[in-house]
Chains A and B, each alone.
Chain A
Amino acid sequence: MKHLKPVNEKARRLANADKPDVVALQAPQQPPGPHIPLGCSTIFSPGWEVDRTGGTAGLCQPVERDLFDCHLGCYWPAQVPDQLNHAPDWTKKCAAAQKDWRKIDVIFP
């Protein structure tokens, strides 16, 4: 800032606030650039299988949560049972996907 001079500590932080504040998990190694945290399937950019560097550390969701967040929240056409009609209790035992994903069983029609 040229015309406004920071005086107190908060103002100094405000003056340095030009840097983008949304960063990916691999932030220290990554070159600066846009991080796309959600909505990956609608714009066909990496984010689901691999992150923007080709690795898996910066995925928009932990892989175990794909079932829930990708097919429910993001309209990702994941292969899941019909939970409205045929298998309403399919994920009943899966309270936290990261921990309980093994409890999700196979569905027999």
Chain B
Amino acid sequence: MSLLQTGDCHAFEAGGQRFVYLAPSAAVLAVDDVSAAVLDAVAVQARSADDIRADLLSGGRFAAGDIDESLAELVRVRALNRVDTPVRPPRKVVPLTPVPLSTMVLNVTNQCNLSCTYCYEYGEDKIVQTENGKQPKMMSEDTARESVEFLLRESGPDAHMTFFGGETLLNFKVLKTTVAYAKRRAAEVGKTIDFSMTTNATLLSAEVIDFLTEHRFGVTISMDGPPDLQNKFRVFHGGAGSYDVIAPKIKALIKQHRSRPIGARVTLTKETLDVRRIYDHLTNEIGFWEVGFAPVTASPDRPHAFGDEGFENVLGEFRDLAKDYLAAALENRHHGFSNVRETIGEIHKGASKAWPCGAGFGLLGVSTAGDVALCHRFAGSDDHKLGTVRDGIDRAAQHAFLDAHHVSDKTDCQKCWARPVCAGGCYHEAHTRFGTTNRPNLHYCDWIRGWTDTCLQIYGQIAQRNPAFLQQFEDTHEAPQAS
């Protein structure tokens, strides 16, 4: 008689209801009492169906028919497996035809007027030589135009263009002419195009704000919170903090630019870990619509890098703030903790990723010289080059990259139920930590699983108590954001 064991799934409870999250399908199922009892019966060790049936019947709570039906259903969705029947992993599929480019991130400069000490681009962990390297410091107007042509050639009907740096606004001149050119060319070829930008806000003049408003830019501002936290790392070259310079400028931008939500992007470090205070300050005091947090990318020996304990602390702080998101969602109120919104959006769709992000196919970065790279974080690196805007995408290199980074080749991930949302994590993080893009980010597995579990619980509560709230996550096609 074959034994049954718990399948590749994660059981969780939300609001008194039991659920399972299945890997790799990423389906979320609510389980009734009998199915919950079956799952509990095999939680410790594999058992035969007869054994489980006899056990549950002896309690007197369930009828034999219900137990058998439940066993069959759980086996069908693979929440239960037969021990002697190995589960065939899904086939590894690498797309043979080009995937349309959705977002092009244009590094219009690799220079910056701040000297944030944790920065991946200039600090000790940098990949590209930006000071006296072969990449120009500013992207030229010609390269920017060639990039526009490249995007319009490679994109589907909707193209997204994100300007990035360095500090993006150091090259406002080229940004301005490029937007005008891109709008004209997109209209000529019959595609829609929209624009977004990431900035440190130091150069948000009245002219810039007018421009961003006029062209409906999606604006993300890198900011770390109230003065003491912002000024700890985000400093000018002379070491002076940037808070007092940027706060009034951001307020002016938010006041004038109302057509698209403006978000803050916070870099968390071991020394600035105060999620609730940062969130409250950025939303209530400054007026941001959304705030997204990301732990700093750094080699483990940097003083600001997170160790195991650090990630646990981040998780605790995230969980605390996530409670507010849940309370707001149940009352149909907006809450700007975008880390929750993004994760439950993926959970609701049931996204199961073969690659951790769109880098290398749906999203590409372009360096100041016009080299095409995996994403903006690798722009200008010869080792991660996937062509140029002039000659197009190097399809062989792109295919080799996707083939080598597929989640099915990440052995460590095969036993993890969170792989549908994580797929091994950020390539750049892996490169910084381990020196190679194709290693899974094993240093933050516990944090990813913990956070996904929290978001599943929030999702389960919303699904039960206010399912209409989840409609906002259906049939939307949001562009990946540069961060």
Chain A interface (Cβ within 8 Å of chain B)? Answer: 1-11, 13-14
Decide: A4 and B29 in contact? CB cutoff 8 A: yes
Interface residue ranges of B8-23 to A (CB < 8 Å): 19-20, 22
Main SS of chain B's interface residues? mixed
Which B residues are in CB contact (< 8 Å) with A3?
31-32, 34-35, 66, 69-70, 73-74
Closest partner residue, chain A, to B71 (CB atom): A3
Asked if B26 is at the interface of the complex by the 8 Å CB criterion, the answer is: yes
Contact with A along B328-365 (1 / 0, CB 8 A): 00000000000000000001111110000000000000
10 A–B contacts from the bound complex (CB under 8 Å): A3-B31, A3-B74, A4-B29, A5-B30, A5-B31, A7-B460, A7-B463, A9-B348, A10-B349, A14-B22
Asked if B27 is at the interface of the complex by the 8 Å CB criterion, the answer is: yes
> Given the known A-B contacts A1-B73, A14-B77, are A8 and B350 also in contact in the complex, defined by CB atoms under 8 Å?
yes
The CA-CA distance from A10 to B20 in the complex, in Å, is 13
Which B residues are in CB contact (< 8 Å) with A6?
27-29
Main SS of chain A's interface residues? mixed
Chain B interface (Cβ within 8 Å of chain A)? Answer: 19-20, 22, 25-32, 34-35, 66, 69-70, 73-74, 76-77, 79, 347-352, 459-460, 463, 474
* Other A-B pairs, 11, CB within 8 Å; known A4-B29, A7-B28: A1-B73, A2-B69, A3-B34, A4-B73, A4-B77, A5-B30, A5-B31, A8-B349, A10-B28, A11-B29, A13-B27
The CA-CA distance from A10 to B32 in the complex, in Å, is 19
Which B residues are in CB contact (< 8 Å) with A11?
22, 27-29, 350
The CA-CA distance from A10 to B420 in the complex, in Å, is 12
Min CB gap B75→A, angstroms: 11
Closest partner residue, chain B, to A5 (CB atom): B30
Decide: A9 and B31 in contact? CB cutoff 8 A: no
The CA-CA distance from A1 to B348 in the complex, in Å, is 20
Decide: A10 and B27 in contact? CB cutoff 8 A: yes
Closest partner residue, chain A, to B79 (CB atom): A4
The CA-CA distance from A93 to B152 in the complex, in Å, is 39
Decide: B19 and A10 in contact? CB cutoff 8 A: no
Which B residues are in CB contact (< 8 Å) with A8?
26-28, 347-350, 459, 463
Which A residues are in CB contact (< 8 Å) with B352?
10
Closest partner residue, chain A, to B70 (CB atom): A3
The CA-CA distance from A2 to B350 in the complex, in Å, is 21
Decide: A10 and B26 in contact? CB cutoff 8 A: yes
Min CB gap A69→B, angstroms: 21
Which A residues are in CB contact (< 8 Å) with B34?
3
Which B residues are in CB contact (< 8 Å) with A9?
348-350, 474
Decide: B29 and A5 in contact? CB cutoff 8 A: yes
Decide: A4 and B350 in contact? CB cutoff 8 A: no
Which B residues are in CB contact (< 8 Å) with A5?
29-32
Min CB gap B455→A, angstroms: 12
Closest partner residue, chain A, to B67 (CB atom): A3
Which A residues are in CB contact (< 8 Å) with B27?
6, 8, 10-11, 13-14
The CA-CA distance from A4 to B19 in the complex, in Å, is 9
> Given the known A-B contacts A1-B73, A4-B74, A4-B77, are A10 and B31 also in contact in the complex, defined by CB atoms under 8 Å?
no
The CA-CA distance from A4 to B79 in the complex, in Å, is 11
Which B residues are in CB contact (< 8 Å) with A1?
73, 76-77
> Given the known A-B contacts A3-B32, A4-B30, A4-B31, are A10 and B73 also in contact in the complex, defined by CB atoms under 8 Å?
no
Decide: B73 and A7 in contact? CB cutoff 8 A: no
The CA-CA distance from A107 to B48 in the complex, in Å, is 65
> Given the known A-B contacts A14-B25, A14-B77, are A7 and B474 also in contact in the complex, defined by CB atoms under 8 Å?
no
